[in-house]
Each structure stands twice: as structure tokens, then as C-alpha cells.
Amino acid sequence: MSDVEHAAEHHEALTSSQYIQHHLTNLTYGQLPDGTWTFAANAAEAKSMGFWAVNVDTMGWSLVLATVFFLIFRSVAKKITSDVPTGAQNAVEMAVEFVEENVKGMFPYKNKMVAPMALTIFVWVFLMNAMDLFAIDLLPEIAKWIGVQMGANPHEVFFKVVPSTDPNITLGMAFCVFILILWYSITQKGPIGFIKELTMHPFSSKNVVIQTFFIPFNLILELPGLIAKPVSLGLRLFGNLYAGEIVFILLAIMYGAGYVFASFAGLLQIFWALFHLLIIYLQALIFMILTIVYMSLSYQTDEGH
């Protein structure tokens, strides 16, 4: 292929479907079937890289936002004052008090880890969700420009900026919560108590023979409920933010359909962004609250089940 043809291919405009697909594809690094370690040029290559591939954009932004969360709260904690507080101190204190009230109301047990974990979940998920408020093409275009300077095809430079639209992040966090649920269920109730919880409910009988007969049925009913906790926790967050991202992408496509559609899209985008502020907050709140509730359930004894 000549340099002219190569350049033309690089600057070829994307169709609407290609534009959507491009925005929904992660910047993935991994090993191709031929043994080469590289960035995936398309979704098919990313899929062929298998389990050990890394979505660099998702991982990068989640770590950046975790660092932002840490630095802000650390800075406020070091400069906290009883005099007239700064705006940052007010915001941090409001977040801490809000989470503390929720933990006290839903977790009537002693565990010094639950409140800090709930605060981390709430703020971190909120920050990840809030990345959806950036202009849909702003950061991806910057990434594309950097990629072109490095000799990459701009259509092969993917850059998703909302970590919570990646199920790897949402299900990963939910799985970590699930591990804690199992750990505290076993340590607080004992291995036997945890097994009884799965095998003695919802059907029970004082007759040993009948209760033994009920065990497999109880297990079949209880195990899906236990496994559904992390799955629903992760997929709920992913689904809501992914749907919101789709709407922003569709509105961005309308800008290229003429002045009338562009004006209409601009108006819709303002309303959707305002509504999306509620989604951003609610999804962070729901993830935190369900985590607290699940942790509380892991402490409940058989009598309180």
C-alpha cells in the first residue's frame, strides 16, 4: 500500500455504526494467538487475547480516580480545622457523615473496616461514574492524536474513559465484596453455621429424615441467591452506566446530521446530562448500600435469618 493510500485509510470517516463500535471498544493490551504482545487493533483481536488481556484505559482511569480520591481526602485530613472550613473540607465531611449514618443504620455490628470500605466504594464509584460527564469525544480525540503521533492508525486507537461501563471493573469490585461476604459469614457463624444457613432454609422440619430430604432443595434455592448477590451488584452498575454512555454516543452522532438535528441534540444533551447526574449519584449510593446490607446479612445468625 502506498503512503497516499495509507493516509487516506487513516482519515476515512467512520459510519455511525463504526463510530458507536469504536467508542464501546476498550484499549486492550494482551497476547495474540501468534504469541505477539500488542494493543488490539479491533474488538475481534481483543477477544482473541483471552482472559489475561488488560483493558488499559479502564485500569488506568480507575487507578487515576482512586489516586484523586486518596489525595483529596488526605489533603483535607491534614489541613482540617475547627474554624471556618473550606469548601473541600465541607464536601469531605458531608461524605463521611453521610456514609457513617448509613453504616450505623444498616450495620448494627462491630467491624472497623465496614465504614471506610463503604466510603471508598461510594466516592470511588461516584468519581468513575462522573467521567461520563466529559464531552464524549474530548479525551478519546486526545488519545487518538497521541496515537497518531506515535504512528498508529487513528481508527485503531480506542479509549473508553468511564471505568464503570466496563463489566471487568464492576464485577471485579462486586467479586471482592462477595469474598468478604463469604469470609465474614464463615468467621461469624462458623463453617457449620454457614452450611446450615444454605441447607436448612427455607424449608425446615424437626423431623431429621424430612429435614435431610429438604437439604438438596434448600441448597438449590439458596445457592443461586448467594451467587446472584455479586452478579446483580456488578451488572446493575455496569448496565445503568453503559446505557447512559450509549445515549451520549447517539446524541453525538446527531451533531453530524445537520444544523436542525445538531441543535436538537445539544438541547437533549443538556437535559440528559442533568438527569445523568442523578444516575451517577444513585448508582454509587446503591452499590454502597447493598454492600453494607450484604455485610450485615453475613453477620446475622441462624435465628435472625
For the segment 24-46, the average pLDDT, to the nearest whole number, is 91
Average pLDDT of the residues of the chain: 87
Q: pTM above the 0.85 mark?
A: yes
User: Of 236, 263, 296, 298, which residue is the catalytic one?
Assistant: 236
Active-site residue, from 62, 102, 164, 240:
240
305 pLDDT higher than 70: no
| pLDDT, tens digit (0-9, with 9 covering 90-100), for 236-272 | 999 999 999 999 988 888 877 777 878 888 888 888 8
Prior bond of 230 cis (ω within 30°): no
Residue 7 has pLDDT above 80, yes or no: no
Report residue 36 as a C-alpha cell: 505477539
Catalytic status, residue 236: yes
Q: Does 74 participate in catalysis according to the annotation?
A: no
Distances 34 to 31, 37, 38, 39, 53 between C-alpha atoms, Å: 8, 9, 11, 14, 14
218 catalytically annotated = no
- Whole-angstrom Cα distance, residue 70 to residue 124? 9
> Which of 16, 204, 232, 263 does the annotation list as catalytic?
232
